[in-house]
């Protein structure tokens, strides 16, 4: 496989708002490529695959935790925030990754699990044995577990309470996730100083930002829900001010699995910004709902609700990631329907969600995979792809918890899918060998050899999106249609968003979730009435809208159009 880079690397472009135009790729170091043959992916292995990611069109990597950790929660149980887990490599390897990525104009965003640590972290070891010592107040301790009982349990499959008894300190400690992950005490200002110092340590090494893990849960109170409490937002305002003052151009991304208005709050306001980006949790499950129900009402409603954000802020949109497909942000009725369609085997469920990968969820249907990706790449916000989804990788529901969709990347049809030269039994997780998603057919090399493969299609789409910055920085206006199975919106990039050499652009995106052919009629809002409509891909001219802006489009089952609108009044000014 040859992804030879250009002989001269471009280096990092200066753009303080780079994240608004970026295509992100979530890659677990452990699962991507094993360079030293010990059965575990590592940082040198990831470095050796940067050419592939550059070829794919990726602008930024999101790396889940690679810190020193007992790995009882995929590394989100951090034992030392300043050490790289030895099996993943060294701190020098990480420095090399940053510089090699930057040489390719690719950014590195790392996870910062700032809500909790592992029980093995030195702070906790000290806190439990020395309550009066310097770390005594770093965690949330209580003599009773009968307080804050209103705070919901998140990992419902494994935990019954948010409190665990510590036999050394003989007190209870609070934990929002696993009981081996005690929550840090944000009422203690020393914890803030620690988090700032840790952030500074990595920012000094050149990382381009952090995904702030589990950020709604930083503060809890006796009466509150323990989610999005006001002090959490105040902490974020200060954290953002620190980034802006010392590290402008680096990005903070909120992982806040909350309802639309609450997620938007993590972006803050014009005067008091918080994170630069927030993952759009409410949209994601509604895409899956629309694919099966053939109804877009719920997707439409949530799209209308989330479009207002402070200038410079951006949504992070995604289909899948390393966690379960969470169903927390849908109605009970939608949740039951989603379980019925996508998790008909109880093994497919975990907590309040579904632990499967994209291709198996969509039953490997090419039209559904294309529809879902096209929507992802055109929504307001920056898309986050999950490693392996570009080749339609499968999952393994016989593995525990979310490991089902964290298996080794499938590079070739050879031993261990080309991921590692280790004995197969030594791999950190087995490669997928199921009938449909067997690595011998689903792998990068095979798909490279086939022009019509999903991999080539995804790559083309990523590049088309990048050639039309309107998808990154344009505004979004939902346009009503006459069909309950259709979704339409307009992306519009005004002159004020254009860089030198770019022109204002307006694109109409129309999606049919119907399983049958569909005629869709819509009326373009007055400010977007065009006199010429052309296909973004091939450039062919479509029938012009009527004087009243009326258009009817015929769509094959589960398909879409991206149509350029020329002569739009709003953009001409
Ligand atoms: C959010 C992470 O995405 C998830 O993988 C992890 O289990 C929880 N935080 C708890 O650490």
- pLDDT for res 53: 98
- Say what the pTM is: 0.97
Task: Please identify every stretch of the chain with a pLDDT value under 50, giving residue numbers as ranges.
Answer: 571-573
Active site residue 93: no
* Contact indicator for 419, 411 with CB cutoff of 8 Å: yes
- pLDDT for res 572: 44
Atom of ligand 1 nearest to the CA of 77: 11
- pLDDT for res 259: 87
Cα angle: 348, vertex 427, 111; to 5 degrees: 70
Given 255, 323, 368, 395, which residue is catalytic? 255
Q: To which H or E segment does residue 100 belong?
A: helix 91-103
Q: How far apart are CA 102 and CA 279, in angstroms?
A: 24
Q: How far apart are CA 13 and CA 432, in angstroms?
A: 38
3-state SS record for 143-157: CCCCCCCCCCCCCCC
Average pLDDT, the chain: 96
Cα angle: 481, vertex 535, 24; to 5 degrees: 85
- pLDDT for res 9: 76
Given 213, 229, 323, 389, which residue is catalytic? 213
- pLDDT for res 4: 72
Distance 352 CA to ligand 1 centre (A): 13
163-214: per-residue pLDDT in tens?
999 999 999 999 999 999 999 999 999 999 999 999 999 999 999 999 999 9
- pLDDT for res 390: 98
Which amino acid residue places its CA nearest to atom 7 of ligand 1?
A: 73
- pLDDT for res 308: 67
Active site residue 414: no
């Amino acid at each position: 496989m040859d992804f030879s880079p250009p002989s001269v690397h471009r280096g990092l472009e200066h753009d303080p708002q780079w994240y608004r135009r970026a295509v992100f790729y979530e890659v677990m170091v452990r699962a991507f490529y094993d360079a030293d043959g010990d059965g575990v992916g590592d940082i040198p292995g990831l470095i050796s695959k940067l050419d592939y990611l550059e070829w794919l069109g990726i602008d930024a990597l999101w790396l889940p935790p690679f810190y020193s950790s007992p790995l009882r929660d995929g590394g989100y149980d951090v034992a030392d925030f300043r050490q790289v887990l030895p099996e993943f490599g060294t701190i020098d390897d990480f420095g090399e990754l940053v510089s090699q990525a930057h040489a390719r104009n690719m950014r590195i965003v790392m996870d910062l699990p700032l809500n909790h640590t592992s029980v093995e972290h030195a702070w906790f070891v000290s806190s439990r044995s020395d309550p009066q010592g310097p770390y005594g107040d770093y965690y949330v301790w209580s003599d009773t577990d009968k307080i804050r009982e209103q705070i919901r349990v998140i990992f419902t499959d494994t935990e019954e309470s948010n409190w665990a008894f510590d036999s050394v300190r003989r007190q209870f400690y609070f934990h929002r996730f696993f009981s081996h992950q005690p929550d840090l005490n944000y009422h203690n200002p020393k914890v803030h100083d620690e988090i700032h110092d840790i952030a500074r340590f990595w920012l000094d090494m050149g990382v381009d930002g952090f995904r702030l893990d589990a950020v709604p849960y930083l503060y809890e109170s006796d009466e509150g829900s323990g989610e999005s409490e006001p002090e959490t937002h105040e902490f974020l305002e200060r954290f953002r001010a620190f980034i802006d003052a010392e590290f402008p151009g680096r990005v903070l991304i909120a992982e806040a699995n909350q309802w639309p208005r609450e997620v938007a709050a993590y972006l803050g306001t014009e005067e008091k910004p918080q994170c630069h980006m927030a993952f759009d949790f409410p949209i994601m499950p509604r895409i899956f709902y629309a694919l099966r129900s053939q109804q877009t009402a719920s997707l439409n409603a949530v799209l209308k609700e989330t479009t207002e954000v402070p200038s410079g802020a951006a949504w992070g949109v995604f289909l899948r990631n390393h966690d379960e497909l969470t169903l927390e942000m849908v109605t009970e009725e939608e949740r039951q329907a989603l379980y019925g369609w996508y998790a008909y085997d109880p093994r497919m469920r975990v907590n309040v969600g579904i632990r499967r990968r994209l291709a198996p969820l969509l039953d490997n249907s090419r039209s559904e995979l294309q529809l879902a990706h096209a929507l992802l790449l055109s929504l307001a916000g920056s898309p986050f792809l999950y490693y392996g989804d570009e080749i339609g990788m499968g999952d393994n529901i016989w593995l525990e918890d979310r490991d089902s969709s964290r298996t080794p990347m499938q590079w070739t049809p050879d031993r261990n899918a080309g991921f590692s030269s280790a004995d197969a039994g030594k791999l950190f997780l087995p490669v997928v060998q199921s009938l449909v998603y067997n690595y011998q057919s689903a792998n990068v090399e095979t798909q490279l050899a086939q022009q019509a493969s999903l991999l080539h299609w995804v790559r083309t789409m990523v590049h088309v999106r990048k050639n039309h910055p309107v998808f990154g920085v344009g505004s979004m206006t939902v346009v009503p249609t006459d069909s309950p199975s259709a979704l339409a919106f307009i992306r519009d990039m005004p002159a004020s968003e254009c860089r030198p050499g770019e022109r204002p652009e307006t694109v109409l995106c129309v999606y049919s979730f119907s399983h049958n052919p569909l005629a869709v009629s819509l009326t373009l809002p007055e400010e977007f009435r065009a006199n010429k409509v052309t296909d973004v891909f091939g450039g062919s001219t479509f029938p012009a809208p009527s004087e009243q802006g009326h258009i009817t489009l015929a769509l094959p089952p589960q398909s879409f159009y991206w149509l350029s609108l020329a002569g739009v009044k709003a953009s001409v000014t």
